[in-house]
Amino acid sequence: MKCTPTDIPEVLIIEPKVFGDGRGFFFESFNARVFEEMTGVTAVFVQDNHSRSARNMLRGLHYQFRHAQGKLVRVTAGEVFDVAVDLRKGSLTFGRWVGATLSAENKRQMWVPPGFAHGFLVVSDVAEFLYKTTEYWHPEHERCIIWNDPELGINWPITDAPLLAAKDAAGFLLRDADCFE
């Protein structure tokens, strides 16, 4: 496996070693020992989630204000543009974002630590998105920052208005959001 820090060093891109031949391929999508040795992160994952979305669906930018979740995310079908936003007020990168293309083809994963908002835009006809979380879902603590907050200036690869869930369309601006100390 290969681990590469992004412009926000705590957010990591992980590329597995893929073994392929005429029959197909094999790779370890997660190994706790290798993950810890490679990243220095001692995460305990408690929940796996799987979503399927159509082209132009934008999910996010989600986070839990209490019971903050770390997420290890990947795509098993299709392609997405994946984004993490630093919501840690004391951080030198507070309010900054990083994005990466994750696809079934490139098999990349992104580690999004607790204290970050997370979202993705489906850029293929359909995408299946899987992610492990370090904390259970607590809907009463779930928050959302609006995808097009001008202060964030996320460069989504989009030409038309995205498809949004009602809760995502009602997201807050960063300046009005609950953030982490």
- The reply to whether 10 falls in a domain is no
User: What DSSP string runs through 68-113?
Assistant: ---EEEEEEESEEEEEEEE-BTTSTTTT-EEEEEEETTT--EEEE-
CB atoms within 10 A of CB 177: 19
- The reply to whether 7 falls in a domain is no
- The reply to whether 5 falls in a domain is no
Mean pLDDT taken over the chain: 96
Question: Measured on CA atoms in the order 10, 102, 166, 52, is the torsion positive or negative?
Answer: negative
Query: Which CATH number belongs to the domain containing residue 172 in this structure?
Result: 2.60.120.10
Per-residue pLDDT for 181 more than 90?
no
Per-residue pLDDT for 20 more than 90?
no
Would strands 47-54 and 126-133 be described as parallel, antiparallel, or unpaired? Answer: antiparallel
Residue 63 annotated to the active site: no
Would strands 142-144 and 116-122 be described as parallel, antiparallel, or unpaired? Answer: unpaired
Q: Which residue is catalytic, options 67, 131, 136, 141? A: 131
- The reply to whether 109 falls in a domain is yes
11 confidence band (pLDDT: 50, 70, 90): very high
Give the mean pLDDT of 33-54. Answer: 94
E strands, the chain, are 2-5, 12-15, 19-21, 24-26, 47-54, 58-64, 71-77, 79-86, 97-103, 109-112, 116-122, 126-133, 142-144
pLDDT in tens, 130-171: 999 999 999 999 999 999 999 999 999 998 999 999 999 999
- The reply to whether 9 falls in a domain is no
Structural domain count of the chain: 1
Q: State the Cα–Cα distance between residues 133 and 136, nearest whole angstrom.
A: 7
Residue 136 annotated to the active site: no
- The reply to whether 17 falls in a domain is no
Q: Which residue is catalytic, options 62, 63, 138, 141? A: 62
The whole model's pTM is what?
A: 0.94
Q: Which domain holds residue 160?
A: 44-176
